Each structure stands twice: as structure tokens, then as C-alpha cells.
Structure 1
């Protein structure tokens, strides 16, 4: 069993977001809390995170944000580094199982109660899905936990090293297809290994990745990716990737 975290239900989350989107970062920091009158926990599934656990979680994320310029303006590189560091920390430190991490209300609590200043610093004036938990693939913190979960390799000396292979937008292409592709850590890690070994030269990486994933989607009804061992799966994916590259080159205007 893992650790259970407070959940902020949709109505309360929307009320806070409507207010917080108008406030300065310093004021949001003053409003943070480890508790909320309307928060709840899942009835079963693990031990509840206490206020001390939540306070420690806040301190750790604040330290990572401060290294990247918080509470001032951040650069694109700083935001990328923040995301990579927080992804690893959340996944390794929260002791949360996937069933708990799939609850958007958990992430709404983190963004709107525990860490509102960091959330609105990372995404100034964000659309609701960045903080409300309505779409975890877009959530400021939830998407990072899942990104780390899908690439984590316990056999690797650096188990989160694959986090840096793809940027956020590219990784989102995989997770957006999670029903067929992105829900399998085994497959995601193989995609990343394959991608890291490609020589794309002057090709547009977004076009190659999009074509690669589309071909995998067409193949998925006929192949059980999780039934293949890593070596066999890597071989199959490399064939698909090279076919994608050849097709893109063949269709380019002379």
C-alpha cells in the first residue's frame, strides 16, 4: 500500500482557482496550507499523509523552484530543469501508488492548497486544467509524476535518466495516446530507448515522432507489446521508427 493524500473536490478547487488566478505569487505563498476544510481522503488504500509530511513536501518543492528562479520570472531552460527535478522528486518521494496518482483531486490539492505559489509561478495565469486536476496529462504536478512513473527503471543506476530524452510537448504525444500506448511503462521505456538511438539529421522531430506513434497505433491491435521482452520489443520498434523516417524522406519535395 502507498500513501494517501488529501483530495480537493471540483467545486472547491474551481472557487480557489477563480480567486488565485488574480493574485500575486507572494500572496499565494501566504495562503498556502497543509489542510483545507473541504478536503477528503480515499477511504482505503494506505496510510494518510500527515501535516508534517505535507509541510516537508512543500519545502522540498520550494527548494527546487528557488534553484530555477522562483519567485521571479523563469526561462524556458529553467522551467525544463524544474520539471525534470520535480518529476523525479514527486515520484520517488511521495510513495504514491498509480491508483492514487490517477485521482485528479489529489493534484488539485497540491496545486491549490499546498503549493499555489509554485503552481502559478510555473504557469502564470494558467487555464484550469493546469491546476484543477481535470486533465492529469496537463496538470502542473500530476503530469510530472506520471512522466516519471512511465520512464522509471529500477534496474538502472540512474532510474530516471530517460526523463530528459523527450521534452514536454513530445512526451505529451505519447501520453495523449495512453489507452493504446502511454499506459504501459514497458512500452514507453522502449519508445524512449528507440528514440534516443535514432539519427534524425535534418528531419523535424515532431513529424517523425507523430508518424512513429501513428504507426504504432495501427500496429497495436495486432501486437501485444507487453508480451515482448525488452530486446524483442526494441527490435520491433526500431523497424517501425526506420520505416517512419524512410516514408517522411520519400514524401519530401525534391
Structure 2
């Protein structure tokens, strides 16, 4: 979300509406984007400014502009651009970002055409809003935790590397540490399977070394030194001892 932009209360798609749209997708019927009845969703009643139709339309338009015609079949580039677009334009509160029904609304109402272009409606995990493998939620999470330079392009991480960083609590809760790990992976000079194995072993060592201790984000240089020291321990046969 752009700095200084107010977060909005997002809409939450009701379970029965989710099931109807899921069934339609499986039958090859893609719901028209932004088409929804007022009784199909709710909004947090506790206060704050709720997103309206015009803002949702503008949000979708901004994301489409960022994608610039790239669709889900160009998987790596689509994920890169969508991560950046959600980072910049999704005006969401952290608490609401943890709700599956919010992501259900974004999936089945705001971006059904984009999600189905990325994942065929066969694996429900990609369409279930409370799943960490959700088509959009995982990309928003990348943009939240990692710096833009690691989301794609020459310094972009591979899918397995994103998983290694973002599905471990040690790194997923610390953007500075995540960036330090990403930098070590990209700077390793390795490619393909060797880099993938390096990333896995590096995360294994970092997880072992940190244990139950919290690493703060205050000193990025100290975090980089810590990650570099862990990376120096990685060899093709190394295991934490």
C-alpha cells in the first residue's frame, strides 16, 4: 500500500456466495468482475471507512495497469507484477489481511478472471481465502515482507525460495531478515537445483541458530552479518550440528 494511503475496511464474501462462485468456475463460467449483490458480503461493523464500489473499481483498474496485459500463463512475470500491484494498491488493514473471507471477495468478485488465468479451478487451496497457498494472498504476503527488488527480475527469487522464506516464522515476521536471506540467496552465484538446495540448507541453519530467540529489525547490518555467517556454513553435505 502506498505510503500515506489510508487503509479501508474490505468486503467479506459470505460462504454461500463463495460456494456458488466456486461451482460456477468449475463449470467454466467466470463471474463478471465486480458483479455482486449487497446481501452476498459483509463489512466489519466496528468502525473505519469501508471500501465502496468506485474504490474497488479503481483498485482493479490500477492492478490491471500494473499487469499491462500479462496473464497467469506467464507465471513468473504475472506473480512479480501482481505482488508489486497488491503491495502498492491494496488498502488493507493487517487484521483484515488475515481473514479468509476478505481474500474470497478479492478472488471471486474483484479478480476472478485473473485468478483463473493463473490457476485452473481444480485445486481448492488456491481459491480458499484462508490458505497460505492462496493465489493472491501469497503474492500480497511477498510484497509485504520482501523488498520489491526480490519479487522479480534479475534479483527475483524462485517459487521454492519464496516458500522457504515466507513459510518460516523466523523470517516471515522480519522483513529485514527476509531481505538479508534473499540477498544471500541471490548473491550466492548458484543457479537451478544448486541454488534451491543452498536456500533450503541456509534456512535450516538460520532456523536452528535462532531457535526461540527473536531477531529484531533495528540493525540491518548485524542481520546481514548473521545471515552471511550462516551462509558460510552451507556446503553440499552440511547439516546443523
Give the TM-score, by structure 2 length.
0.84
Q: CA deviation at 1:228?
A: 5.7
Per the alignment, residue 28 of structure 1 pairs with 30
| Contact preservation (8 Å) 2:34, 2:57 | no
Gaps of 5+ in 2: 1-5
Give the TM-score, by structure 1 length.
0.80
**Cα deviation 1:174-196 (Å, max 9, x = unaligned):** 2221x332122122112112222
Match of 2:224 among 234, 239, 244: 234
Q: CA deviation at 1:53?
A: 0.7
**After alignment, is 105-114 or 164-173 more displaced?**
164-173
Shift of the 50–31 alpha-carbon distance from structure 1 to 2, 3 Å rule, reads: closer
| Contact preservation (8 Å) 1:32, 1:116 | no
Q: What is the number of residues matched between the two proteins? A: 231
Shift of the 130–45 alpha-carbon distance from structure 1 to 2, 3 Å rule, reads: farther
Q: CA RMSD in A?
A: 2.5
Gaps of 5+ in 1: 153-159
Structure 1 residue matching 2:60: 3-state secondary structure: helix
CA distance in 2: counterparts of 1:171 and 1:21, whole angstroms: 29
Normalized per residue, the structure richer in helix is 1
**After alignment, is 57-66 or 168-177 more displaced?**
57-66
**Cα deviation 1:88-140 (Å, max 9, x = unaligned):** 111111222322212121111011112211111111234112122121x2111
| Contact preservation (8 Å) 2:24, 2:30 | no
Match of 2:58 among 45, 56, 59: 56
Match of 1:193 among 149, 170, 183: 183
Taking the TM superposition and a 5 Å limit, the aligned residue runs for 1:1-254 are 2-23=7-28, 27-28=29-30, 30=32, 32-33=34-35, 35-44=37-46, 46-65=48-67, 67-69=69-71, 74=73, 78-135=74-131, 137-152=132-147, 160-164=148-152, 165-177=156-168, 179-200=169-190, 204-221=194-211, 223-226=213-216, 229-244=219-234, 246=235, 248=236
CA distance in 2: counterparts of 1:55 and 1:113, whole angstroms: 11
